[in-house]
C-alpha cells in the first residue's frame, strides 16, 4: 500500500508540472483546449493527493510500524483522534496535508470559475500548480512520508504529549487552511499581472478567498494561543516565539489588504499597494513555513534542523523574483490618477491603518530575524525577546485601535466639520466618560487605561452606526426595531459584519491589555494543610492523589480555593508522566470567570517530604480573548454569507449549468 501512496505523489508531481506548462502555454497563446487540459491535470493532482493522504491515514490507523512516519509519530496506545492528528503532527505528514489543502482549493477555484474569469484562469491554475510542484517535489525528492524502515518497529515512538490535546487537533489544520488559502489571492494577483487585466475584476474574484484565509489565520492564531495557555503552563498565551510570529505576520498583512482593497473599490486608488500586500502575504506564509521548518532562527521550538530550509529560501526567492518582475513590468499600467484629498477622510484613516499594520509586521519580522542578521553583520548572535515586541507593538496597537474607531464613521474624500461633529461627538464623549470612570476606579495611567478608554470610543462609533442605520430604516420603512436591525445587517453584510469583527477586536485588545498590566503571580512550597495567597484568593494545599494507566501516570495536587472566607472551588493541577516518550508534562488547573482566571500549576512534588511547589497566576480578563475570537468568527460569517442578490445569481448559474450545453 505505501508504495501506491508514493506512486500517487510522484504522478501528482508530473501532472502538476504539466498543469503549469499547459496553463502558461494555453494562456499566452489563447488556446482554450490547452487551458482546459491544464485544469483537468489540476483535478487529477487533487485526486492523487487525496489517495496518498488516505493511504497515509490508513497506515496510521492500522499502526503500520513498517513506515518510518507512523513509527515516529504514533503508537498502538495512542487514542484514535490523536492518531488522526498525527497526520499533521510531523513534518512529512504536514507537507502532504498542505498539498492536500492546496489542491483542494485549486479544485474549488476552478469549479467556481468554469465560466468566469476565463482570461485569468490559465495563469491562476499555473500559479497554484507551481506552488503544488514545490511541495510535491519536497515529498518526492527530499522527505518521503511513505519511507519504509529497514526493520519494522515493534512499537511507535508516539506523538509528543504536548500535542495530545484537543486544541492541537484543530489549531494546525486551521492555521494551514489560512496559510494555504492565501495562495488563491496570490494566484489571481499573478494572473492579473500576467494578463494585464489590472482592474477590479481580480480583487472582486478573490474577496471571499482573502477573507476566508484571513479568518482561518485569525482562528489559527487564537487556537494556538489557547493551546499555549492551557498546555504549556507558564501562565501566558503568547510568547513572541518565532513560530508564533510566523503565523502572526501574514495575518497582519492580510488584515491590511482587507482594508485597503476597499479604497481601491471605492476610489480606484492604491492598486499597486494592494498587489504588493497580496504578494507579501503569500511570501510571508512561505517564510513562516521556512521559519518553522529550518531551525535557522533558534526558536526554543526547533532545535532539530530539518534540512528543508534551503529549499524554502530558494522557493521564496523564486516567488519574489517572478512576482517582483511582473509587478515592475506592469507598474506604469497600475498607476491611477486618483489621489487622497484630505487627512480627514476614510481613505486616509484606512491608509494609516495599513501603514501601522505593515509597520507592526515589519517590527515583528525584524525582531524575529535579528539574531541571524546580527550574526551575519557582527559575528555575534543577539536575541530580542518578548520585552522588545511588547515595547514596540503596544504603542502601534493603540494607534491601530484609535483608527478602528475613526475609520467606520468618518466620511469618504473629505470630512466636513459637521460630519466630524455628527460622527464623533457621541463616541468621544463615551470615551471621556470611560476614562473618568477608570480614573475614579484608580486604574493607573498606562497602556491598559488607554486601551480601555479607546475601546469604549471604538464601541461607541460602532454602536452609533448600528443605531442610526436601524433608526433610519424604522423611520422610512416603518419596520420594527429587531426587523430593521436584521435587514440593515442583511443588506450590508460586509459593512456590518466588519463592524462586528471590530467589536471582537476591541474585546481582544482589552484582554491583552488587562492580562498584561494586572497579572498577579505567586509561588510557594507547601506541605499538606499549608496556605498561600494569590491576589484576592487564598489557596490551601490539601493532599496529593495519583493514578496510573497504560499510557501515562498522573499526580494531582488537590487545592481548595477560598475568597472572602468562603470556599469557591477545588482545583487539581497535575503532573503527568507519559510512558512512551518518557517525559513529564504539566496539566494546568484553571478557574475561569469573565473577570479573571485563577491559573494553577503544580511546579514540583517531592515524594519523601510531601512538599509541593505551587505556582499561581491571577490573569485578569483573559476570557475576553476567546470571547473576542468568537465574536470575530461571527462577524466573519455575516460578512461572507452570500447576500440575496448573490444567491439569486448562483441559482441562475446552476440552472444554466443543468441545461445541456452546446
Closest distance of CB 225 from another protein, Å: 8
Closest distance of CB 500 from another protein, Å: 25
Backbone phi and psi for residue 49, each to the nearest 5 degrees, phi listed first: -70, -35
Quick one: 333 or 341, whose CB is closer to another protein?
341
Using CB under 8 A as the binding rule, whether residue 603 contacts another protein is answered as: yes
CA max distance for the chain? 86
Q: Measured between alpha carbons, how far is residue 141 from residues 12, 27, 309 in Å?
A: 13, 29, 14
Quick one: 289 or 461, whose CB is closer to another protein?
289
Quick one: 176 or 202, whose CB is closer to another protein?
176
- Residue 562 pairs with which residues in a beta bridge? 538, 567
Cα–Cα distance measured from residue 515 to residue 433, given in angstroms and rounded to the nearest whole number: 23
For residues 143 to 182, the per-residue mask of contacts with another protein, x marking binding by CB under 8 A and - elsewhere, is --------------x--x-xx----x--xx--xx--x---
Q: Which of 80, 154, 303, 441 binds another protein (CB under 8 A)?
A: 303
- Residue 554 pairs with which residues in a beta bridge? 547, 576
Site for another protein in 562-591 (CB under 8 A): 575, 581, 583-586
Quick one: 391 or 656, whose CB is closer to another protein?
391
Return the number of other C-beta atoms located less than 10 Å from residue 29's C-beta. Answer: 10
Site for another protein in 51-90 (CB under 8 A): 72, 88-90
Nearest to 105 by CA among 34, 187, 23: 187
Q: Which of 300, 440, 476, 550 binds another protein (CB under 8 A)?
A: 300
Q: Is the dihedral of CA 499, 504, 507, 509 positive or negative?
A: negative
Please name the helix (run of DSSP H) or strand (run of DSSP E) that holds residue 288, with its range, or none: helix 271-294
For residues 309 to 348, the per-residue mask of contacts with another protein, x marking binding by CB under 8 A and - elsewhere, is ------------------------------xxxxx----x
Please report how the helices 493-517 and 386-406 are oriented relative to each other, as an axis angle in degrees rounded to 10: 140
Q: First-to-last CA distance in the chain?
A: 43
Quick one: 73 or 496, whose CB is closer to another protein?
73
- Residue 520 pairs with which residues in a beta bridge? 618
Contact 84, 56 (CB under 8 A): no
Listed ranges 374-382, 455-463, 536-544, 640-648: which one lies at the site for another protein (CB under 8 A): 374-382
Q: What's the distance, CA 112 to chain centroid? A: 25
Site for another protein in 394-413 (CB under 8 A): 395-396
Closest distance of CB 591 from another protein, Å: 20
Site for another protein in 81-140 (CB under 8 A): 88-91, 94
Q: 378: number of CA atoms within 13 Å, CB side?
A: 9
Listed ranges 207-215, 317-325, 361-369, 543-551: which one lies at the site for another protein (CB under 8 A): 361-369
Show Cβ contacts of residue 328 under 8 Å, excluding neighbours closer than 6 positions.
none
Closest distance of CB 410 from another protein, Å: 16
Using CB under 8 A as the binding rule, whether residue 211 contacts another protein is answered as: no
Using CB under 8 A as the binding rule, whether residue 306 contacts another protein is answered as: yes
For residues 269 to 298, the per-residue mask of contacts with another protein, x marking binding by CB under 8 A and - elsewhere, is -------------------xx--xx----x
Residue 381 corresponds to which cell in the numbers above? 548572535
Amino acid at each position: 500500500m505505501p508504495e501506491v501512496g508514493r506512486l500517487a505523489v510522484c504522478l501528482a508531481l508530473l501532472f502538476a508540472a504539466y498543469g503549469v506548462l499547459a496553463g502558461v502555454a494555453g494562456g499566452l497563446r489563447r488556446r482554450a483546449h490547452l487551458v482546459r487540459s491544464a485544469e483537468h491535470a489540476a483535478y487529477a493532482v487533487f485526486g492523487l493527493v487525496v489517495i496518498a493522504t488516505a493511504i497515509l491515514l490508513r497506515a496510521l490507523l492500522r499502526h503500520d510500524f513498517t513506515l518510518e512516519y507512523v513509527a515516529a509519530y504514533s503508537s498502538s496506545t495512542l487514542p484514535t483522534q490523536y492518531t488522526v492528528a498525527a497526520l499533521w503532527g510531523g513534518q512529512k505528514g504536514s507537507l502532504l496535508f498542505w498539498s492536500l489543502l492546496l489542491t483542494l482549493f485549486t479544485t474549488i477555484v476552478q469549479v467556481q470559475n468554469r465560466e468566469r474569469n476565463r482570461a485569468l484562469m490559465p495563469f491562476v491554475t499555473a500559479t497554484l500548480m507551481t506552488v503544488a510542484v514545490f511541495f510535491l517535489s519536497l515529498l518526492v525528492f527530499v522527505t518521503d512520508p511513505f519511507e519504509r524502515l529497514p526493520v519494522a518497529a515493534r512499537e511507535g515512538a508516539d506523538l509528543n504529549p504536548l500535542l495530545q490535546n484537543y486544541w492541537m487537533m484543530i489549531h494546525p489544520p486551521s492555521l494551514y487552511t489560512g496559510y494555504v488559502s492565501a495562495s488563491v489571492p496570490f494566484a489571481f494577483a499573478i494572473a492579473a499581472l500576467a494578463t494585464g487585466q489590472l482592474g477590479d475584476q481580480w480583487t472582486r474574484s478573490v474577496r471571499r478567498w482573502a477573507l476566508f484565509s484571513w479568518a482561518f489565520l485569525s482562528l489559527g492564531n487564537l487556537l494556538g494561543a489557547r493551546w499555549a495557555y492551557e498546555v504549556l503552563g507558564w501562565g501566558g498565551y503568547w510568547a513572541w516565539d518565532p513560530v508564533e510570529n510566523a503565523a502572526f505576520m501574514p495575518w497582519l498583512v492580510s488584515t491590511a489588504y482587507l482594508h485597503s482593497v476597499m479604497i481601491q473599490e471605492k476610489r480606484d486608488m492604491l492598486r499597486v499597494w494592494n498587489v504588493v500586500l497580496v504578494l507579501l502575504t503569500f511570501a510571508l506564509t512561505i517564510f513562516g513555513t521556512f521559519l518553522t521548518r529550518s531551525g535557522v532562527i533558534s526558536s526554543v521550538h526547533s532545535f532539530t534542523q530539518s534540512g528543508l530550509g534551503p529549499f524554502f529560501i530558494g522557493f521564496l526567492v523564486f516567488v519574489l523574483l517572478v512576482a517582483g518582475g511582473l509587478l515592475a513590468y506592469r507598474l506604469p499600467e497600475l498607476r491611477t490618477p486618483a489621489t487622497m484629498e484630505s487627512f480627514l477622510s476614510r481613505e486616509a484613516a484606512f491608509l494609516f491603518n495599513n501603514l501601522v499594520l505593515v509597520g507592526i509586521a515589519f517590527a515583528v519580522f525584524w525582531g524575529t530575524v535579528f539574531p541571524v542578521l546580527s550574526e551575519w553583520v557582527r559575528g555575534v548572535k543577539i536575541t530580542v525577546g518578548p520585552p522588545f515586541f511588547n515595547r514596540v507593538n503596544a504603542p502601534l496597537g493603540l494607534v491601530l485601535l484609535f483608527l478602528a474607531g475613526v475609520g467606520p464613521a468618518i466620511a469618504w474624500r473629505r470630512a466636513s466639520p459637521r460630519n466630524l461633529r455628527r460622527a464623533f461627538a457621541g463616541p468621544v464623549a463615551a470615551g471621556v466618560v470611560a476614562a473618568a470612570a477608570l480614573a475614579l476606579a484608580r486604574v493607573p495611567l498606562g497602556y491598559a487605561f488607554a486601551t480601555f478608554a479607546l475601546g469604549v470610543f471604538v464601541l461607541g462609533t460602532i454602536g452609533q452606526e448600528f443605531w442610526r442605520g436601524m433608526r433610519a430604516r424604522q423611520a422610512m420603512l416603518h419596520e420594527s426595531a429587531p426587523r430593521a436591525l436584521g435587514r440593515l445587517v442583511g443588506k450590508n453584510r460586509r459593512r456590518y459584519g466588519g463592524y462586528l469583527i471590530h467589536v471582537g477586536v476591541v474585546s481582544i485588545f482589552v484582554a491583552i491589555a488587562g492580562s498584561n498590566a494586572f497579572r498577579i503571580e505567586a509561588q510557594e512550597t507547601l506541605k499538606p494543610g499549608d496556605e498561600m495567597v494569590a491576589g484576592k484568593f487564598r489557596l490551601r494545599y490539601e493532599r496529593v492523589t495519583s493514578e496510573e494507566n497504560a499510557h501515562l501516570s498522573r499526580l494531582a495536587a488537590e487545592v481548595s480555593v477560598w475568597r472572602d472566607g468562603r470556599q469557591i472551588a477545588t482545583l487539581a493541577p497535575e503532573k503527568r508522566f507519559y510512558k512512551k516518550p518518557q517525559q513529564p508534562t504539566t496539566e494546568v488547573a484553571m478557574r475561569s470567570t469573565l473577570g479573571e482566571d485563577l491559573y494553577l500549576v503544580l511546579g514540583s512534588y517531592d515524594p519523601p517530604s510531601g512538599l509541593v511547589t505551587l505556582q499561581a497566576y491571577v490573569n485578569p480578563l483573559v476570557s475576553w480573548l476567546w470571547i473576542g475570537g468568537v465574536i470575530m468568527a461571527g462577524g466573519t460569517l455575516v460578512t461572507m454569507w452570500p447576500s440575496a442578490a448573490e444567491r439569486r445569481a448562483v441559482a441562475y448559474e446552476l440552472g444554466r449549468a443543468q441545461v445541456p450545453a452546446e
